[in-house]
Chain A
Amino acid sequence: EDQVTQSPEALRLQEGESSSLNCSYTVSGLRGLFWYRQDPGKGPEFLFTLYSAGEEKEKERLKATLTKKESFLHITAPKPEDSATYLCAVLKGTYKYIFGTGTRLKVLA
């Protein structure tokens, strides 16, 4: 069964305390893996798209990596404004986007 699992479900970090969020998937025929940030009461905001194992993308304090079975979103020296829910999704086929349940990140000042 196609599945996307994110861990941990929730994460509390002190400001400056680096960590990683995990997105593991069991999807055949992957056509892209996507990371989004979602603030409360808002639609998801696009962060990264990854296509093949070994690929990495960076943006400010965030870096996304991809292997054949999982992706990591590394957060370096996070700030309180990085607090949000981070969603991972994979594309199977042409239109089927499968979302994980997200990681709720709280960064404390």
Chain B
Amino acid sequence: GAVVSQHPSRVICKSGTSVKIECRSLDFQATTMFWYRQFPKQSLMLMATSNEGSKATYEQGVEKDKFLINHASLTLSTLTVTSAHPEDSSFYICSARPPRQGPPYSGNTIYFGEGSWLTVV
């Protein structure tokens, strides 16, 4: 079964509003989570690395004031898209990494959520 869960799977919001996407680690406490954006037929674009209890590290070109990431607990990270615009419409995916190596998880492997489709109208 899934070890990382994302919610909502699909969301439509009006331009100018904010929307929050949740990423939950179900099977382990994840000190590190990652947020990606994916355009059609393209690979994953890392947006930020989120460490529990500290500020997220954003990739170059990603507006941290627009894409707010909060990793308040070891099982939950949230991505809030503020003042959303149609160009923010995309597929957003999170991933989490188990804190230790060993069964049933492969060390250093990151596990992905199901993804969230955001449409800004």
Residue of B nearest to A50 (CB): B106
Asked whether B44 lies within 8 Å of A95 as measured between CB atoms, the reply is no
When distances are taken between beta carbons in the complex, the residues of chain B under 8 Å from A97 are 34, 46, 110
Contact of A43 among B46, B109, B113 (CB under 8 A): B113
- Bound Cα distance from A97 to B93, whole angstroms: 14
Interface size on A, residues (CB 8 A): 20
Interface size on B, residues (CB 8 A): 24
Instruction: Report which residue of B32, B108, B114, B117 has the largest number of chain A beta carbons within 10 angstroms of its beta carbon.
Output: B108
Digitize B30-51: 1 where CB-to-A-CB distance is under 8 Å, 0 elsewhere.
Answer: 0010100000011110100100
- What are 18 A-B contacts with C-beta separation under 8 Å? A34-B109, A41-B115, A42-B114, A43-B4, A43-B6, A43-B93, A43-B115, A44-B44, A44-B112, A49-B106, A49-B108, A95-B49, A97-B46, A97-B110, A100-B43, A101-B43, A102-B43, A104-B41
Mark B residues whose CB is within 8 Å of A.
4, 6, 32, 34, 41-44, 46, 49, 91, 93, 95, 106-115, 117
